[in-house]
């Protein structure tokens, strides 16, 4: 599925963590039980931290591969798309399944 440029946006981990927590607690901000609300907010923050860690490792890995491939450019042809697929296979697989 092709996406238009205006449909694409930077990754917002806060929004992503909020969407994940809403799967289990769709209206958590409306709860009147303060302890429950605070526990859900802490869980959301933990989800965000986990996402940050995993994405940071993947981005560092792909940047290292890009730098290495640029350094090896004359010896070996490496497509940027192949590097992205290698580090973010789930994203690419999901796009292929949609088509």
Burial, 17: exposed, middle or buried (Cβ in 10 Å; 0-12, 13-18, 19+)?
A: buried
Evaluate whether residue 85 is within a structural domain.
yes
- Provide the whole-model pTM: 0.69
Q: Given this model, what pLDDT does residue 41 score? A: 96
| Domain contains 50 | yes
Q: Which long-range contacts (CB under 8 A, 24 or more apart) does 5-12 make?
A: 11/55
In a domain, 65, yes or no: yes
Place of tokens 């996402």: 51
The domain in which residue 64 lies consists of: 12-98
Q: Are 48 and 17 in contact (CB under 8 A)?
A: yes
Distance CA 29, CA 40 (A): 9
Identify whether 42 is part of a domain: yes
Q: How far apart are the first and last CA of the chain?
A: 6
The reply to whether 7 falls in a domain is no
Read off the pLDDT of each residue in 81-94 and give the average, rounded to a whole number: 71
Q: Is 60 exceeded by the pLDDT of residue 97?
A: no
Residue 64 has pLDDT above 60, yes or no: yes
**What is the pLDDT of the chain when averaged over all its residues?**
82
Total of domains in the chain: 1
Distance CA 41, CA 4 (A): 34
Residue 75 in 3-state DSSP? coil
| 22, part of any domain | yes
Q: 40 in a domain, yes or no?
A: yes
What is the pLDDT at residue 24? 95
């Amino acid at each position: 599925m092709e996406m238009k440029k205006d449909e694409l946006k930077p990754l917002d981990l806060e929004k992503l963590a909020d969407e994940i927590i809403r799967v289990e607690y769709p209206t958590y901000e409306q709860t009147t039980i303060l302890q429950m609300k605070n526990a859900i907010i802490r869980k959301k923050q933990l989800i965000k931290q986990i996402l940050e860690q995993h994405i940071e490792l993947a981005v560092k890995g792909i940047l290292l591969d890009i730098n290495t491939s640029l350094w090896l450019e004359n010896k070996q042809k490496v497509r940027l798309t192949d590097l992205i697929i290698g580090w973010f296979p789930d994203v690419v697989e999901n796009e292929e399944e949609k088509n």
